[in-house]
Amino acid sequence: MSKNPYPLYVPPAMSDETFQALAVFITLNLGIKMPLEKKTMLQARILKRLRALHISTFEEYCELLFSKKGIRDELPHLFDVTTTNKTDFFREPGHFEFLATELLPNFCSYKPCSHEDPVVFWSAGCSTGEEPYTLAIVLEEFKLGNPWFHYVILASDISTQVLATAKKAIYREDKIEPVPYELRKKYLLKSKDNTEKLVRIIPRLRSKIRFFRLNLMEDKFILPSKVDIIFCRNVMIYFSKEIQSQLVMKFHAVLKSKGFLFTGHSETLVNLNLPFQLIIPTVYQKK
């Protein structure tokens, strides 16, 4: 019998020792909890990186990852494979309704909102851009009734890959289904090629957002200015309580007086003994 010229591919196995080394590295550099029960998931996801990098073992991958070059170039890819970049336009819509109908009218009654001193928003963990563009749409609608209102939006993520998508501001038509039809007509441009089924955010909104790379595990955040309102939603679910507390204190440091923090509906600061006051569930004000 002739030998099979195409033998069955057997993927490499990840040893417990290698998993533990990766788990410690991921927690230290990304803040993400990585208990032993996630070993199978991590092995399957990192296997894609092995193939992309033409590396044959997880041990070789660790050698690359733990180097200075690896921390610079591979860490964003590791973040991508260890988290789920799920995001949508108008995700958790109650936040945007509260922002437009209650928070901003009250906030702007005592906060100058001029061109020289705009309200500064920060979408921390912006992924592919749906959240900051939703913010821009809501703020533009608020500005229609309040023409003196001015704002800027900072948007950051650790992943250069998702930031590149966000900057392009091009989305499939099925991705914009949560956007009300009247708002689509105002703020989205259809592709001239009807077969592509693509839309793009209008230039005016794109100009309001500054995208940049930032790892939330950095010791402190260097931002262009202090911030009035932070959206960090469905990010802290990956972190331990200790790392959540450290992150929220770093947010506290960059928030202006009486600034606000929005978290995801599955996240809470209750019982963390932090200098924030609960306004409504998942919305907090700096004390």
Q: What Å distances lie between residue 139 and 32, 170, 186, 213, CA to CA?
A: 32, 20, 13, 23
In angstroms, the CA 202 to CA 247 distance is 33
Contact 85, 162 (CB under 8 A): yes
Catalytic residue (choose from 45, 91, 200, 206): 45
| Active-site residue, selected from the candidate residues 80, 157, 228, 233 | 157
Q: Where are the alpha helices (DSSP H) in the chain?
A: 16-30, 39-53, 58-65, 68-73, 75-82, 93-98, 104-107, 130-145, 160-168, 181-187, 203-206, 241-254
Instruction: Tell me the C-alpha distance between 267 and 75, whole Å.
Output: 25
Give CA–CA dist 132/163, Å, rounded: 12
For residues 189 and 185, what is the distance between their CA atoms, to the nearest angstrom?
Answer: 8
The helix/strand count (H/E) of the chain reads as: 12, 10
Is 200 a residue of the active site?
no
Instruction: With H, G, I as helix, E, B as strand and everything else as coil, classify residue 260.
Output: strand
> 61 φ, ψ to 5°?
-60, -40
Catalytic annotation present for 51: no
Gyration radius of the chain over CA positions: 22
Catalytic residues: 45, 157
